[in-house]
Copies of this chain bind each other. A is one copy, B any other.
């Protein structure tokens, strides 16, 4: 069984209000020194077979099609 991770983050130039809300809340909770927070998604995909080149290629296609919005998000695929 192959386990592949897909990390999806908003592109740096895209505003991330969720991350900003977290960053702004931190000082009120006593956490100092945090400059910025960005929130994204993480997917764990389990596939039949080995986590080989072909499996990673397939998950890359899945990420492009279904898991990420390539207009506003970057994604990274790697074996777990």
Contact = CB atoms under 8 A, between A and B. Distances in A.
A70 interface: no
Interface in A16-66: 19, 22, 25-26, 29, 31, 33-49, 58, 61-62, 65-66
A79 interface: no
A39 B8 CA distance: 11
Given A31-B62, A34-B47, 8 more contacts: A19-B43, A26-B66, A33-B48, A34-B45, A35-B47, A36-B45, A40-B42, A41-B41
Interface of A: 1, 7-9, 19, 22, 25-26, 29, 31, 33-49, 58, 61-62, 65-67
